[in-house]
Amino acid sequence: MRPTGIQTLSVNEVRDDSEPFPSQTEIIMASVPLGAVTPPKTQRSKIHKEAGIWSLLFASLTAIIGSGWLFAPLTAAQQAGPSSILSWVIGGAAILLLAFVNAELTSAFPGMGAVITFPKLSHGSLMAAVMSWVVFLGYVTVAPAEVLAVVTYANNYLPGFVNAKTQLLTPEGMGASVVLLGVFVLINAMGVRMLLRVGNTMMVWKLIVPILAIVMLLVSSFHSANFTSQGFAPMGMQGTISTIATSGIVFSYLGFRQAIELSGEAKNPQRDVPIAIVGSVLIAGAIFVLLEVAFIGALNPSDIAQGWAKVHFTGASGPFAGLATLLGLSWLAALLYIDAVVSPAGTGLVYGGTTARVVYATGKDGLSLPWFAKLNAKGAPSAGLWVTWIVGLLFFLPFPSWQKIVTFISSAAVLAYGVGPVSLLTLRRTLPLGAYRRPYTLKGAWLWAPLAFIAANLIIFWSGAGTDDFLFGALAVIFVLYVIAQAVSGRIGELHWKGAWWLFPYFLGMWAITNMGPAEPIGGNGMLTFYEGMGLVVILSFIIIALAVVSGLPEPEDARAALRIGELGARDSDVPG
């Protein structure tokens, strides 16, 4: 029997004439504990279901193939030498673990800002609130990072955007960044159809250019001795592993999540979203590995004579374009400089839209102001777009260069997605597969989910003490302000404290271990060696995931309702007409 205090709408009550069946976002949000959160009133504007499988795949690929491949191959080679090839493989495998876990959750509970919905369904409103802050911090910084990449490369054609000595934005560069971020917001305000149309068009370009760069570099210059002359892993496995988080490798892969955030606008989310998520990671991973191989092979042996850490050549600020110029491929260099604008712009455009959808989800789910759930006539989250633009502008101040922001983004993003395995195992316990069918089921979840959680936490550790200090410090400040606001409003007792208490030892433990790590490459106080720190992270991960799973909501009524509606919808979809 459904407990009192739960308000539910029947299928007929939420059905809209324009849609054959209500989205699961509407079902989930229509089943809200009255006393726990206060959902905003139903709006006249509806979420438009425009995204097919190719659009979802292209959205994720457009986000993945951004500024990362333009910068990361050089920085990865400097930190790990030829073993950076292995770093791309390991990083892709870690992200793929998170992708598989999120594929099951997304197929069962698709919706705008779905990554925030998962912890709310499994652990309640307080955990969802905390994770919404993490997600927002990770998302809102991506579009500014891509804007910085565009403006930095544009400085080659329009000098004056970047200070030559400090490599930071000039006032002119800051102004250009503000305008470009505003353009992203404007295009997203035109609705998901426009967002996907622009993304699909850019995807063709963004796939052709890196593939062309791979082929031309391999054909024009390939020094096989570069892979062995100083050893395959000159910095040891420590360098191979740590570069995953600090060179932009993880950052490059993070675009897979765009299909998750657009799942509420998918025509067939149960089938298309998992395929788009996994497919985008596999395709991008193959491209990244080949790019690293081509880059290392194309280097003149004299460029690495003083060691991989000191690799430098004319035009190294734009690694692939610089190499193309040195090899006499001026036409390819010109193409790469153009791509250095197009690729980051495409990624920033997509992230600008999905960040706004995360803001929308917090308002829709009662985790923030109801105004944040406002949609415009095109079905786009207009309030979320304004918030995304304003907060994004603020991040230009502490992070006025691409290199300063991507490690923070990686740490925040994997922290947010690392909670996916927790929600998956918790909902498997409270809503067993035998009683509640999922559209897509991850086989061996008892093994893969903990491994994904461990992988996420290791990446946070590898990101370094400075990054984690900023991340966990920001979360602590936001949490204090949130608790004060809830106390003032008299709703602090309505939060699901039992479902979120484990976050305190989790965050504190990760912060402490990272700060006790070695000075190189973690930036800690040296109480622990690199591998001792990794070992403690693994132990902490097992303890935390065990505590988290048993701390989930004992009666996740919202999730139960969504799964039942999903099964009914699947049956109805088989009936013609």
Q: Which one-letter amino acid corresponds to residue 273?
A: V
- Total domain count for the chain? 1
Q: What are the DSSP E strand ranges found in 2-154?
A: 6-7, 32-33
Question: What backbone phi and psi angles, to 5 degrees, belong to 229?
Answer: -60, -35
Predicted local distance difference test score (pLDDT) of residue 167? 66
114: amino acid identity, one letter: A
Whole-angstrom distance, CA of residue 440 vs CA of residue 570: 12
CA-wise closest residue to 415 among 450, 457, 448 = 457
SS3 (DSSP) at 169: strand
| 299 in Cβ contact with 323 (< 8 Å) | yes
Q: How far apart are CA 561 and CA 451, in angstroms?
A: 29
Return the pLDDT at 2. 37
Nearest Cα to Cα of residue 380 among 563, 194, 524: 194
Q: What is the CA radius of gyration of the chain?
A: 23
Quote the CA–CA distance of 310 and 221 in Å, as a whole number: 21
Tell me the per-residue pLDDT of 106-139, one tens digit each, with 9 for 90 and over: 777 776 556 777 888 888 888 888 988 888 888 7
Whether the CB-CB separation of 407 and 464 falls below 8 Å is answered with: yes
Does 222 reside within a domain?
yes
Contacts of 243 (CB under 8 A, 6+ apart): 75, 76, 79, 80, 84, 87, 249
How are beta strands 32-33 and 6-7 bridged, if at all? antiparallel
CA-CA distance, 446 to 458, in Å (whole number)? 19
What gap in Å lies between CA 391 and CA 394, rounded to an integer?
Answer: 5
So what's the pLDDT on residue 263? 65
- What is the pLDDT at residue 32? 31
pLDDT computed for residue 145 by the predictor: 85
CB neighbourhood size of 348 (10 A): 27
Distance CA 102, CA 418 (A): 10
- Whether 382 contacts 391, CB under 8 Å: no
| pLDDT for the residue numbered 46 | 52
pLDDT (tens digit, 9 = 90+) per residue, 142-197? 888 888 888 877 776 677 887 767 767 888 988 988 888 888 777 766 655 555 55
Range of the domain at 257: 49-571
Contacts of 166 (CB under 8 A, 6+ apart): none
CA angle, 500 then 264 then 196, to 5° = 125
At residue 340, the 3 state secondary structure works out as helix
How far apart are the two ends of the chain, measured CA to CA in Å?
Answer: 34
Any domain includes 35: no
Identity of residue 401:
S
- Considering the domain boundaries, does residue 94 fall inside one? yes
User: Residue 536's pLDDT is what?
Assistant: 98
- Tell me the residue length of the chain: 577
Distance CA 503, CA 417 (A): 14
Kindly state whether residue 8 falls inside one of the protein's structural domains.
no
119 within 8 A of 289, measured Cβ to Cβ = no
pLDDT at 198: 56
Residue 32 lies in a domain: no
For residue 227, the 8-state DSSP code is: G
Q: Domain containing 55 — which CATH number?
A: 1.20.1740.10
Note whether residue 337 is domain-resident: yes
Crossing angle for the helix pair 465-488 and 445-463, nearest 10 degrees?
110
10-residue mean pLDDT series, the chain (577 residues): 34 31 30 32 49 78 81 90 95 90 78 72 87 83 84 76 76 88 74 55 78 94 90 90 91 79 68 82 93 94 88 76 89 88 73 74 70 74 81 79 81 89 92 76 89 96 91 91 82 83 96 94 92 97 96 79 56 35
Cβ count within 10 A of residue 487: 11
Closest alpha carbon to 190 in 15, 381, 28: 381
Beta carbons of 422 and 549 less than 8 angstroms apart: yes
Q: Is residue 191 part of a domain?
A: yes
Locate 155 and state its tokens: 């400085």
Domain assignment present for 29: no
pLDDT at 94: 93
> Residue 266 gets which letter from DSSP?
B
The predicted model scores a pTM of 0.79
